[in-house]
Amino acid sequence: MNHENATASSRAGGTADEPVAEVRDLRVEVDGSTIVDGVSLKAVPGRVTALVGASGSGKTTTGLALLGEYPSGARVTGDVRLAADGLVGYIPQHPAAVLNPARRISALLTDIARAQVGHLPRGRRRSAIRGRVLQALADAQLPAAEVLLRRYPHQLSGGQQQRVVLAQALLLGAPVIVADEPTTGQDRLTKSRVVDQLAAVAARGIAVILLSHDLDVVRALADDVVVMRQGRVVESGPAARLWAAPQHAWTQELLVERPGFTEPETAVGTPGRPVLRIRGLAAHHRDGARGTTTVLRTPELDVAPGECLAVVGRSGSGKTTLARCIAGLHRDHDGEVLLDDVALPRSLRNRSRTQLAAVQYVFQDARAAFDEHRPVLHQVARTAIRLRGTDADAARQEALTTLARLGLPADLSGRSAGRLSGGELQRAALARALLAHPRVLVCDEITSGLDTISRRGILDILTTLLHDRDDLSLILITHDLDTAALAHRIAVLDAGEVVEQGPAQRLLTEPTHPFTASLVVPTARLKAGTSG
């Protein structure tokens, strides 16, 4: 394989750079289709090797091969060689899944340590086990480990869960750790914490295999990069060389910086008559029998026709609640949401068809928003029939053209939802919302689960939409400032309050509120890793 030379040349060091795990010419076939085709990679102590590629490119299959795990019924050829003890740690995308819900977190940690103290006399084993477990938790930067050990997984925060899973790998003493999409769907601050953590792991002399489609994180961490597409390695080599001079067209496309689409056309948004106005909104959540908590206060927020407003904030800041209030999905609020000066009923159920069509919502999880067994085309066309009274044939025709315009040709849109990728489904979800001919389109984190290429595709679609239809207003709910940069205006939410709002350009370059500044800074810090 040609890329092996590239990897070898990067290993200028001495014997310390002997790989502790190596995959050679791996091929994995399931039911006749090839998932991974001729992939080779090396895990070198103290270095981070990133497997980059769109979802479905075979990253996870390759990563799991290091653990000796394959999809059921897979035909595997090629070599996976591990260091003598054959231990590999694994940090999955959702750490909660690998933590046993019925056991305290000490259970598995203790069992891992028990296997290591067999040589000690019986009486000293217990304290030796405890010592090792506490040390591993400390190494994973978990303070107050004594208390934590007695907790159940659901009593830990997401970050703590991830560090417990890391502690398991450290306790195991694995020379290789595979981290599968450790930052997907996380906000900026969490991301930069995960980056620090994985850097610390590599600094301990452990080889880290990072599977990710998050280029910011890969830039900040990776020493070596393997770019995958459709199961094949298209390019690999030291990170610095790859960023500086990508050889393969696909890598270049992956690395292209997105220009914002705000600057030239700021003339949009006729002042004076906003399409959507929010007045004195205060949304509540019920806390069991105890009473209610106010999770969102928005005294005033306007959206002009043709305007794109980004609502930015960390997870839990109330941005989704705001979107749900606008869409009529969250009834428990005071104040008013006015569409063209008419207050919208609080509940979806009380809104007329015209009102329903006027405000459309696209959800983060496109897969959950479709019936997986019916053709996507039918589900998209249904909006026009249901909300605009179009007849079935016309609706089908319109759905076909809209889907094709958004990049889903007829052969794809005729498939059932279960057979489309996440990015394709998100396009279909947008098409479905557009078939209602909405005045306001609410997009709730619609790109955060997607890989770079799919995300870019979706953002391109949104740009085009704003450009072509000046009567359509967009509300982008996002934690990602890069996505927010595409908007005309940004409103920043923190703990349920709008702390700052204004033109996107100004907010991103000269934030006035300290919280906005704190959101902008980690972005810059992650970017700083790029040059290296």
Binding site for other proteins (CB under 8 A): 67, 69, 87-88, 90, 92, 97-103, 107-108, 111-112, 115, 152, 154, 165, 168, 172
How far apart CA 41 and CA 24 sit, in angstroms, is 7
Least CB distance from residue 62 to other proteins, whole Å?
Answer: 16
How far apart CA 320 and CA 309 sit, in angstroms, is 14
Q: For residues 68 and 259, which CB has a smaller minimum distance to other proteins in the complex?
A: 68
Q: For residues 62 and 298, which CB has a smaller minimum distance to other proteins in the complex?
A: 62
Least CB distance from residue 100 to other proteins, whole Å?
Answer: 4
Q: H/E/C letters for each residue in 420-452?
A: CCHHHHHHHHHHHHHCCCCCEEEEECCCCCCCH
- Beta bridge partners, 485, equal none
Q: For residues 98 and 348, which CB has a smaller minimum distance to other proteins in the complex?
A: 98
How far apart CA 411 and CA 396 sit, in angstroms, is 14
Q: For residues 122 and 154, which CB has a smaller minimum distance to other proteins in the complex?
A: 154
Residues 6+ positions from 160 with CB-CB distance below 8 Å: 142, 148
Do 42 and 26 touch, CB atoms closer than 8 A?
no
Least CB distance from residue 124 to other proteins, whole Å?
Answer: 21
Least CB distance from residue 122 to other proteins, whole Å?
Answer: 18
Cα radius of gyration rounded to whole Å, the chain: 25
Q: For residues 107 and 189, which CB has a smaller minimum distance to other proteins in the complex?
A: 107
Tokens of 382: 């249904």
Least CB distance from residue 226 to other proteins, whole Å?
Answer: 23
Q: For residues 154 and 349, which CB has a smaller minimum distance to other proteins in the complex?
A: 154
CA distances (Å), origin 77, targets 19, 136, 415: 20, 36, 32
Least CB distance from residue 119 to other proteins, whole Å?
Answer: 16
CA distances (Å), origin 171, targets 153, 154, 469, 512, 513: 18, 22, 57, 45, 43
Tokens of 167: 């502690």
Beta strands in 377-496 (DSSP E): 440-444, 473-478, 489-494
DSSP secondary structure of 204-252: TT-EEEEEES-HHHHHHH-SEEEEEETTEEEEEEEHHHHHHS--SHHHH
Do 52 and 250 touch, CB atoms closer than 8 A?
no
How far apart CA 480 and CA 186 sit, in angstroms, is 9
Residues 6+ positions from 99 with CB-CB distance below 8 Å: 105, 108, 153, 161, 164, 165
Least CB distance from residue 2 to other proteins, whole Å?
Answer: 32
Residues 6+ positions from 449 with CB-CB distance below 8 Å: 184, 185, 364, 365, 422
Least CB distance from residue 184 to other proteins, whole Å?
Answer: 16
Q: For residues 111 and 471, which CB has a smaller minimum distance to other proteins in the complex?
A: 111
**Number of C-beta neighbours around residue 202 at 10 A:** 21
Q: For residues 152 and 415, which CB has a smaller minimum distance to other proteins in the complex?
A: 152
Q: Which helix (H) or strand (E) holds 197?
A: helix 188-203
Q: For residues 101 and 143, which CB has a smaller minimum distance to other proteins in the complex?
A: 101
Q: For residues 107 and 499, which CB has a smaller minimum distance to other proteins in the complex?
A: 107
Least CB distance from residue 110 to other proteins, whole Å?
Answer: 10
How far apart CA 462 and CA 455 sit, in angstroms, is 11
CA distances (Å), origin 370, targets 16, 382, 391: 51, 12, 22
- Beta bridge partners, 22, equal 42, 81
Q: For residues 165 and 436, which CB has a smaller minimum distance to other proteins in the complex?
A: 165
Least CB distance from residue 48 to other proteins, whole Å?
Answer: 21
Tokens of 210: 């990072």
Least CB distance from residue 239 to other proteins, whole Å?
Answer: 28
Q: For residues 151 and 378, which CB has a smaller minimum distance to other proteins in the complex?
A: 151
- Beta bridge partners, 278, equal 301, 337
Least CB distance from residue 123 to other proteins, whole Å?
Answer: 21
Least CB distance from residue 344 to other proteins, whole Å?
Answer: 34
Q: For residues 12 and 115, which CB has a smaller minimum distance to other proteins in the complex?
A: 115
